[in-house]
């Protein structure tokens, strides 16, 4: 009875206390006593909170029974301050070099870095601050261990090839899933978003203003990514945009400008050299005219960017509002990129228990394209291949028709090739605290993406002119509904999230084309005399999922976490539509144990392990059905037709990747050195394969689940604070990653002459059992025989030189996967100056330059590399690199062999930046808060491997970004840009 009274009393007192309030005021400052703007103050156990103003001051009304305030600020250790009797509170924050108490974004939630036991990489605001902000994908190179980011091309707006922990699939796509504020992005899995030829896909992240990004999180192990189930085998990248903080309104203006040049260009023959060469090899008399095509298309690229953002709010409503404009022109004519962005992120607390949150991102991109790399209308490719005796203009200064290699100067001046992209990525959520610790949330989002591609070829290039107009829309909506439970029971804490989501994406394509125009000035297809194409297609996919992730912590040092997701996808046949993915991970924070807790040497020590499964569904929308297609490809003489397009495979199911991960995180010497290292292994089974068929079957391939593949590797990230004084700080980051990829089984696949089953990716690359997924399989080139002037290759046994390229002599000669890659970053701060430099390197990967099939073909009709001038003659026997003009091998010299295979290793100064920040306090004015002036350089220095000079351009190459079996191949891949930017950022 007594007990019951006590309970009743406590309940009543507890209820009464909800209504009693007190107001705490104070200041949050760093060790130097300088006020910290925007530090967050939260009453522990409630949702009450605020942030500090410009001077670091705050005022927070809290329930009377509040005992602890939690104060956090990026870059500083989170503090819990016990409230005493006083309502005044000044807090000094301690710098946190390793971000132990940062909150990190994870799938469907956030987590304290301290309690994190899954393997993730985060790109934090500081890194974002110090990078040339061209596109979000740039932030992933070198900054995140285990993440291999390769720019596919120097063409503006092209995508990057991003591989997280190796290659988890053969045919089902290799790029990770991108999620922006909880909305998984459309990434072209239903269809291409542009017609542009070449391997260069459009960048799914191009629409995001990097300035709006608060953080990027890369989910690497199954423990982190299994919650995304069927789409997570390639890893997941979570992008979180900036949110407003309560306090005074802040305005930030940023402007930068810069210019660019290609890192490397090719050295082609000039007109005199060309005339001499074709006379020697083909006995042709080329015309006496000359024109320097590469010089005519190269220029200095320009870039300018303008950004303004405002943020602030009250303790109930916070906002972040931004707008930006980026204007970029490339180093070769005909390629510009203009991006307009707007964003509104808004949070509002309706009541103590009910909140809503909305993120709205709008963008428009105006991209002037001139054909991508693998297209003779691409300005630089065309300029290299156009014969130098071909003039661009007649004597009167009019453009000439230059035949098959079109006159790019005319195309650029008179033609149109534009891609307009409009995108809305938005979501709104409503959260309600049902009980203390139990929150329900419903989130509704869209990713509405539309591209409009307009091409208009002028009369001089195509008689009468031609045009097409393509409109594509990839519109997705989704809903995510979750219950979140978080509760502490003494030493035992539990966090759990469970929920469902449904996603539906509809892709549509509308295209018209026509030819025969009265004048070049008539831009649109409706002016064409002859309509040549009318198309309108749609395709859709849906994904219905349920998921749950419980986390248990005991004494804040033993943590176990599990996740489970069941996905149902429209992409698979009825019986195999559902897949279940799961993970279990555990962690032990040793530094919380008694024997280490007071160690001055070890500040943090954590061991983690995880195992789980994820899937991959990127195989198009209806791969399991046997189909007959319709439309222009099948009609005949005005009669509607149907034709076979795909054989059925009703048993098609998920490709599944099981991943194990063991990790250690520690920091020592007052956190001056912190290390995170993970060893991992991924085993992919039921590989989704475009199983190749002999063409006699009428189909080149059928999609099947067959085979296994394995990746294993190590990711290491080391952060050090080398020197730290009041005014001077020097920090270093080393990121190093290594992985080995091996195809372990391909049942039913064709076998090569050595008996190894394989799947051919391209004419030069294969996935071979026992070797990497993108193994180069080529005849070895030996060189020019000084005695005969013939080019020679090696027979299969490697001993006999032969003068033919016999496919039976092909051998395994390396792969596109590097032995290791990584980065070394140094940041030095002195008073207001910051100097930062990142070296990026990759070692041991092979690159196949398909351009050499053309530039080094002695008898082609194109211009040739100046290297060919060093051909064999009686007077030039020993040093010749090209067969003699009469050798029978001259016509096959440039055919595929290791002659075009180069060492793709390189090291480059990815970026270097110098900035100076002036704080208003230093000059005693109030009209602004801070001014930052900076200069940054990208790719200022690059060291290529031997053999590139005179043959290749930039070594960073990924011609077919998303394809795993076609990595490290180039076909006139536009080189990366060398860029210098200067900027100013003013905060008010």
Restricting to residues 26-85, name those near other proteins by CB under 8 A. Answer: none
- Give the footprint of other proteins on residues 721-750 (CB under 8 A): 750
3-state secondary structure of 866: helix
| DSSP element (H, E) containing 224 | helix 222-225
Tell me which residue of 295, 108, 312, 328 sits closest to 206, measured CA to CA. Answer: 328
Least CB distance to other proteins at residue 592 (A): 38
- Give the footprint of other proteins on residues 160-189 (CB under 8 A): none
Least CB distance to other proteins at residue 528 (A): 10
- Give the footprint of other proteins on residues 751-770 (CB under 8 A): 751-752, 760, 763
Query: Which residue number, 538 or 555, has a Cβ lying nearer to other proteins?
Result: 538
Provide the mask over 572-591, with x wherever binding to other proteins is found by CB under 8 A and - wherever it is not: --x--x--------------
In Å, how far from its chain's centre is CA 362?
20
Query: Which residue number, 416 or 859, has a Cβ lying nearer to other proteins?
Result: 859
Q: What would you report as the CA-atom Rg of the chain, rounded to the nearest whole angstrom?
A: 31
Q: Mind giving me the DSSP string for 90-126?
A: EEEPPB-TT-TT-EEEETTEEEEGGG--S-EEEE-HH
d(C-alpha 410, C-alpha 752), whole Å: 48
Whole-Å CA distances, 827 to 135, 734, 836: 22, 12, 4
Please write down the HEC assignment for all residues of 465-514.
CEEEEEEEEEEEEEEEEEEEEEEEECCEEEEEEEEEEEEEEEEEEEEEEE
Binding to other proteins by residue 641, rule CB under 8 A? yes
Binding other proteins (rule: CB under 8 A), the pick from 642, 669, 949, 982 is 642
Binding other proteins (rule: CB under 8 A), the pick from 702, 768, 852, 977 is 702
Binding other proteins (rule: CB under 8 A), the pick from 84, 397, 594, 640 is 640
Binding other proteins (rule: CB under 8 A), the pick from 21, 249, 488, 700 is 700
d(C-alpha 446, C-alpha 790), whole Å: 62
Least CB distance to other proteins at residue 389 (A): 9
- Give the footprint of other proteins on residues 927-966 (CB under 8 A): none
Query: Which residue number, 263 or 896, has a Cβ lying nearer to other proteins?
Result: 896
Cβ atoms within 10 Å of 132's Cβ, excluding its own: 24
Tell me which residue of 441, 469, 443 sits closest to 455, measured CA to CA. Answer: 469
Binding other proteins (rule: CB under 8 A), the pick from 17, 300, 314, 625 is 625
- Give the footprint of other proteins on residues 504-533 (CB under 8 A): 504, 515-516, 530-533
3-state secondary structure of 219: strand
Instruction: Give me 438's structure tokens.
Output: 């139990």
Provide the mask over 403-422, with x wherever binding to other proteins is found by CB under 8 A and - wherever it is not: xxx-----------------
Binding other proteins (rule: CB under 8 A), the pick from 33, 276, 643, 783 is 643
Query: Which residue number, 306 or 444, has a Cβ lying nearer to other proteins?
Result: 444
- Give the footprint of other proteins on residues 476-505 (CB under 8 A): 479-481, 500-502, 504
Binding other proteins (rule: CB under 8 A), the pick from 695, 727, 797, 874 is 695
Least CB distance to other proteins at residue 541 (A): 7
Residue 945 half-sphere exposure, CB side, CA atoms within 13 Å? Answer: 15
Least CB distance to other proteins at residue 187 (A): 19
452 neighbors 434 (Cβ within 8 angstroms): no
| DSSP element (H, E) containing 359 | strand 354-368
Number of residues lying near other proteins (CB under 8 A)? 104
d(C-alpha 850, C-alpha 973), whole Å: 9
Query: Which residue number, 625 or 873, has a Cβ lying nearer to other proteins?
Result: 625
Binding other proteins (rule: CB under 8 A), the pick from 544, 588, 824, 916 is 544
Residue 420 half-sphere exposure, CB side, CA atoms within 13 Å? Answer: 8
Residues 6+ apart with CB under 8 A from 637: none
- Give the footprint of other proteins on residues 893-912 (CB under 8 A): 894-896
Instruction: Give me 359's structure tokens.
Output: 């993120």
Residue 422 half-sphere exposure, CB side, CA atoms within 13 Å? Answer: 6
d(C-alpha 747, C-alpha 691), whole Å: 10
- Give the footprint of other proteins on residues 664-693 (CB under 8 A): 692-693
The 8-class DSSP code of residue 36 comes to P
Residues 6+ apart with CB under 8 A from 549: 107, 108, 227, 496, 497, 498, 561, 562, 563, 564
Stretch that binds other proteins, among 37-45, 582-590, 621-629, 899-907 (CB under 8 A): 621-629
Tell me which residue of 801, 816, 885 sits closest to 848, measured CA to CA. Answer: 816
Q: Mind giving me the DSSP string for 43-63?
A: ETTSS-EEE--TTSEEEEEEE
Query: Which residue number, 292 or 442, has a Cβ lying nearer to other proteins?
Result: 442
Query: Which residue number, 475 or 930, has a Cβ lying nearer to other proteins?
Result: 475
- Give the footprint of other proteins on residues 829-888 (CB under 8 A): 853-854, 857, 859-862
- Give the footprint of other proteins on residues 765-804 (CB under 8 A): none
Query: Which residue number, 309 or 406, has a Cβ lying nearer to other proteins?
Result: 406
Binding to other proteins by residue 538, rule CB under 8 A? yes
Least CB distance to other proteins at residue 470 (A): 16
Residues 6+ apart with CB under 8 A from 925: none
Binding other proteins (rule: CB under 8 A), the pick from 68, 350, 519, 723 is 350
Helix, strand, coil content of the chain in percent (nearest 5)? 10, 50, 40
Query: Which residue number, 394 or 727, has a Cβ lying nearer to other proteins?
Result: 394
Query: Which residue number, 67 or 795, has a Cβ lying nearer to other proteins?
Result: 795
- Give the footprint of other proteins on residues 98-117 (CB under 8 A): none
Which residue's entry shows tokens 């301050």?
81
Given phi > 0 = left and psi -120 to 50 = alpha, else beta, which region is 522? beta
Query: Which residue number, 503 or 715, has a Cβ lying nearer to other proteins?
Result: 503
- Give the footprint of other proteins on residues 434-473 (CB under 8 A): 440, 442, 444, 462-464, 466
Stretch that binds other proteins, among 28-36, 155-163, 699-707, 724-732 (CB under 8 A): 699-707
Pairing of strands 801-802, 673-685: unpaired
Binding to other proteins by residue 967, rule CB under 8 A? no
Tell me which residue of 840, 842, 783 sits closest to 815, measured CA to CA. Answer: 842
d(C-alpha 367, C-alpha 256), whole Å: 20
Query: Which residue number, 502 or 988, has a Cβ lying nearer to other proteins?
Result: 502
Query: Which residue number, 120 or 387, has a Cβ lying nearer to other proteins?
Result: 387
Least CB distance to other proteins at residue 599 (A): 48
Instruction: Give me 162's structure tokens.
Output: 């991003």
Least CB distance to other proteins at residue 572 (A): 9
Least CB distance to other proteins at residue 130 (A): 40
Binding to other proteins by residue 714, rule CB under 8 A? no
- Give the footprint of other proteins on residues 304-333 (CB under 8 A): none
Instruction: Give me 226's structure tokens.
Output: 């299994």
264 neighbors 943 (Cβ within 8 angstroms): no
- Give the footprint of other proteins on residues 224-283 (CB under 8 A): none
Least CB distance to other proteins at residue 954 (A): 25
Instruction: Give me 127's structure tokens.
Output: 């890194």
986 neighbors 930 (Cβ within 8 angstroms): yes
Residue 220: phi and psi, rounded to 5, are -105, -50
Binding to other proteins by residue 644, rule CB under 8 A? yes
Stretch that binds other proteins, among 199-207, 633-641, 814-822, 950-958 (CB under 8 A): 633-641
């Amino acid at each position: 009875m007594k007990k019951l009274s006590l309970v009743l009393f406590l309940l009543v007192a507890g209820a009464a206390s909800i209504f009693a309030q007190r107001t705490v005021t104070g200041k949050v400052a760093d060790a130097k006593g300088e006020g910290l703007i925007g530090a967050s103050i939260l009453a522990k156990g409630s949702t009450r909170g605020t942030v500090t103003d410009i001077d670091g001051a705050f005022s927070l009304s809290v329930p009377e029974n509040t005992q602890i305030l939690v104060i956090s600020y990026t870059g500083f250790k989170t503090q819990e301050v016990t409230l005493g009797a006083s309502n005044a509170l000044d807090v000094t924050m301690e710098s946190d070099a390793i971000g132990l108490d940062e909150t990190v974004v994870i799938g469907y939630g956030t987590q304290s870095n301290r309690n994190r036991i899954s393997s993730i990489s985060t790109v934090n605001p500081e890194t974002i601050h110090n990078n040339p902000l061209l596109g979000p994908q740039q932030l992933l190179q070198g900054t995140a261990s285990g993440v291999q980011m390769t720019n596919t091309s120097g063409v503006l707006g092209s995508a990057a090839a991003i591989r997280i922990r190796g290659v988890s699939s053969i045919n089902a796509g290799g790029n990770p899933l991108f999620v922006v504020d909880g909305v998984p992005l459309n990434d072209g899995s239903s269809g291409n978003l542009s017609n542009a030829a070449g391997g260069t896909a459009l960048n799914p992240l191009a629409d995001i203003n990097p300035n709006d990004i608060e953080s990027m999180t890369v989910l690497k192990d199954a423990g982190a990514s299994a919650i995304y189930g069927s789409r997570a085998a390639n890893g997941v990248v979570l992008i979180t945009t900036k949110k407003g903080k309560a306090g005074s309104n802040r305005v930030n203006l940023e402007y930068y400008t810069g210019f660019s040049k290609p890192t490397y260009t090719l050295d082609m023959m000039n007109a005199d050299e060309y005339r001499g060469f074709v006379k020697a090899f083909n006995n042709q008399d080329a015309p006496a005219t000359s024109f320097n095509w590469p010089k005519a298309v190269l220029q200095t690229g320009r870039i300018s960017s303008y950004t303004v953002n405002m943020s602030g709010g009250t303790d109930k409503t916070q906002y972040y509002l931004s707008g930006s404009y980026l204007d970029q022109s490339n180093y070769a004519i005909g390629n510009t990129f203009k991006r307009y962005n707007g964003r509104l992120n808004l949070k509002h607390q309706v009541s103590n228990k009910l909140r809503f949150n909305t993120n709205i991102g709008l963008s428009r991109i105006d991209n002037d394209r001139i054909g991508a790399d693998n297209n003779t209308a691409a300005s630089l490719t065309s300029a290299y291949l156009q014969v130098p005796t071909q003039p661009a203009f007649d004597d009167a200064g009019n453009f000439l028709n230059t035949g098959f290699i079109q006159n790019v100067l005319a195309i650029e001046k008179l033609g149109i090739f534009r891609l307009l992209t409009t995108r809305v990525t938005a979501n709104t959520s409503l959260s309600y605290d049902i009980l203390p610790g139990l929150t329900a949330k419903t989130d509704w989002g869209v990713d509405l993406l539309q591209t409009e591609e307009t091409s208009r070829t002028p009369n001089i290039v195509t008689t009468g002119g031609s045009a097409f107009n393509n409109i594509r829309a990839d519109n997705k909506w989704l809903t995510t509904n979750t219950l979140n439970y978080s509760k502490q029971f003494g030493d035992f804490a539990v966090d759990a999230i469970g929920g469902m989501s449904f996603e539906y994406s509809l892709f549509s394509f509308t295209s018209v084309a026509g030819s025969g125009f009265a004048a070049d000035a008539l831009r649109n297809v409706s002016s064409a005399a002859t309509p040549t194409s009318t198309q309108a297609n749609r395709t859709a996919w849906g994904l219905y999922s349920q998921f749950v992730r419980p986390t248990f912590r005991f004494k804040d040092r033993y943590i176990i976490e599990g996740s489970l997701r069941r996905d149902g996808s429209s992409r698979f046949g009825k019986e195999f539509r559902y897949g279940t993915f799961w993970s279990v991970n555990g962690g032990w924070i040793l530094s919380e144990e008694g024997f280490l807790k007071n160690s001055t040497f070890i500040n943090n020590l954590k061991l983690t392990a995880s195992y789980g499964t994820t899937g991959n569904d990127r195989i198009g929308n209806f791969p399991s059905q046997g189909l007959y297609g319709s439309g222009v490809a099948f009609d005949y003489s005005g009669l509607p037709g149907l034709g076979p397009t795909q054989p059925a495979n009703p048993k098609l199911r998920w490709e599944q990747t099981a991943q194990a991960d063991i990790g250690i995180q520690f920091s020592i010497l007052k956190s001056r050195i912190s290390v995170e290292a993970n060893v991992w292994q991924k085993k992919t089974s039921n590989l989704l394969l475009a199983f190749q068929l002999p063409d006699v079957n009428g189909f080149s391939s059928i999609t099947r689940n067959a085979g296994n593949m394995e990746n294993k590797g190590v990711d290491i990230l080391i952060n050090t604070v080398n020197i730290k004084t009041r005014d001077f700080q020097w920090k270093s980051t080393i990121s190093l990653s290594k992985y080995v990829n091996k195809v372990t089984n391909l049942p039913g696949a064709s076998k090569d002459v050595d008996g190894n089953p394989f799947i051919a990716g391209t004419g030069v690359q294969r996935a071979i059992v026992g070797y990497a997924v993108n193994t180069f399989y080529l005849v070895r080139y030996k060189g020019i025989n000084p005695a005969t002037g013939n080019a020679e290759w090696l027979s299969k046994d490697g001993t006999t030189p032969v003068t033919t390229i016999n496919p039976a002599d092909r051998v395994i000669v390396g792969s596109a996967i590097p032995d290791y890659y990584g980065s070394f970053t140094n940041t030095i701060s002195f008073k207001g100056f910051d100097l930062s430099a990142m070296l990026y390197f990759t070692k041991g990967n092979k690159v196949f330059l398909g351009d050499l099939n053309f530039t080094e073909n002695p008898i082609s009709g194109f211009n040739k590399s100046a290297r060919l001038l060093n051909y064999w003659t009686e007077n030039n026997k020993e040093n010749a690199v090209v067969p003699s003009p009469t050798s029978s091998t001259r016509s096959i010299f440039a055919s595929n062999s290791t002659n075009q295979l180069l060492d793709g290793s390189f090291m480059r100064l990815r970026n270097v930046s110098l900035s100076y920040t002036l704080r208003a306090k230093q000059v005693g004015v109030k009209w602004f808060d801070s001014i930052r002036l900076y200069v940054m350089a990208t790719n200022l220095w690059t060291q290529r491997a031997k053999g590139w000079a005179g043959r290749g351009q930039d070594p960073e190459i990924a011609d077919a970004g998303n394809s795993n079996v076609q990595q490290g191949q180039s076909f006139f891949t536009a080189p990366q840009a060398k860029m210098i930017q200067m900027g100013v950022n003013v905060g008010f």
